[in-house]
Amino acid sequence: MSNNRKVLIYGASGYTGKLVAESLAVREIPFYMAGRTRSRLEHALQVVEERVGAKVDAEIVTASNNLDELVPLFEKVDVVINVAGPFMQVAWPVVEACLKTNCHYLDTTGEQDWTVAIQEKYGDSFADKGLLLSPACSYMWCAGALAAELMLETVGIDSIELLYQIDNAIPSEASTKSFLRMQGNQDSQFYLENGEYKSWPNDQAYTVSMPHRMETYLALPWGGACEPIWLKQDERVRNCKVLTAFGDEIISGVIEVIKDFNEKSVGMTTEEREALTNQIGQEMSSGEPDKDDPQVCRSVIVCHGQGQQVSKTLLLNLSAPYTFTGDICAESAQRLLNGQLKVAGFQSAVKAFGHRELLQVFHEQGFCNAVE
């Protein structure tokens, strides 16, 4: 077992934590598996070793979600991968501990308001220390960011519209809770219009068409996405919208849940509203899903680009969303350890490490199509 352990997964016993651990193990990167309950972490490590088919160079450590317990652990490492959410509810001490101990911070959030909040509070401080602050280091919303960067290679494009289309989606309990707390907020799912944030309604679905399918589909903002947050920093971009199609049955069911939530939550405080979305997420969850299969859980990201004198559409295949999430975290950690960070501070993984470089890696691993 290695004594040079420089990566820590916080919340490692969950569904996504196991996938991150597996991807680190495949790259032969030693790591800590951290969380509150040793027995759950031990079971998670057993699952990872069964998947890898060998012993894994990992050490289990336990800590509660507070600075006093996190700081001594983080002082041992250079990279923290946080997979414990909902992030706006529980992740503040993890970011603060990273900044205090000079650790790069990655997480797998899909929560747009969390992404904005840590950008505003911590972005400059991480940049001043040469550290990466990279939320949404995951399929959602790195896949769309990859497609957007490809689109923005075309000079004159200043408006981006992205559509995530996913077959046989299998949301985990944690993802369901994170998504619902975003979808339940009526004024915090944003798109970018002329450089400013505008709110989507939270109880409306949209009919979308996809170049690779014969049928139309229903789609939702799914919390607003993080691409508008990333691209608001980009002087090339004026407008950005993101929608997600998980299948009409799921989308229709979510709309019913949200309309019911809107009625029940009238007059509630923020804390009461989030307690209610947590409860709904718990009721909707059917337990931890199996690891996703790229042959079954296929995905295409449609990217429309427009400028004053140019318009263009491109498609990016990027399958097995949860497995890819584990891999983008592991790839990012490996590049940080290798000194391959291109831009510090608040950045998407795509900007931090280069979209062409990442696309090449993920094409070779079978996640995405080659793009000329």
pLDDT string in tens for the chain (372-residue length): 556 899 999 999 999 999 999 999 999 999 999 999 999 999 999 999 999 999 999 999 999 999 999 999 999 999 999 999 889 989 999 999 999 999 999 999 989 999 999 999 999 999 999 999 999 999 999 999 999 999 999 999 999 999 999 998 766 666 666 667 676 666 678 999 999 999 998 889 999 999 999 999 999 998 899 999 999 999 999 999 999 998 898 889 888 888 888 888 888 887 787 787 777 777 766 567 788 888 899 999 999 999 999 999 999 999 999 999 999 999 999 999 999 999 999 999 999 999 999 999 999 999 988 666
Count of domains in the chain?
A: 2
Q: How far is CA 284 from CA 96, 172, 257, 280, 287, in A?
A: 32, 10, 10, 6, 9
Whether 186 and 304 map to the same domain: the answer is yes
Could you tell me the pTM of the whole model?
A: 0.93
Instruction: Select from 6, 46, 48 the least CA-distant residue to 26.
Output: 48
3-class DSSP assignment, residue 314: strand
CB 234 within 8 A of CB 153: no
Task: Evaluate whether residue 365 is within a structural domain.
Answer: no
Whether 166 and 206 map to the same domain: the answer is yes
CB 139 within 8 A of CB 324: yes
Q: In angstroms, rounded to a whole number, what is the distance separating the alpha carbons of residues 294 and 48?
A: 18
- Rounded to the nearest 10 degrees, the angle between the axes of helix 173-183 and helix 15-26 is 120
Residue length, the chain?
A: 372
Q: In angstroms, rounded to a whole number, what is the distance separating the alpha carbons of residues 68 and 91?
A: 14
3-class DSSP assignment, residue 188: coil
Whether 238 and 353 map to the same domain: the answer is no
Task: Evaluate whether residue 2 is within a structural domain.
Answer: no
Whether 212 and 292 map to the same domain: the answer is yes
CB 45 within 8 A of CB 21: yes
**Helices of type H across the chain:** 15-26, 38-52, 67-74, 87-90, 92-101, 112-128, 139-151, 173-183, 227-232, 248-264, 270-284, 321-337, 349-353, 355-364
Task: Evaluate whether residue 371 is within a structural domain.
Answer: no
Tell me the residue range of the domain where 177 lies.
141-320
Task: Evaluate whether residue 366 is within a structural domain.
Answer: no
Whether 102 and 171 map to the same domain: the answer is no
- The total of other beta-carbon atoms located within 10 Å of residue 172's CB is 17
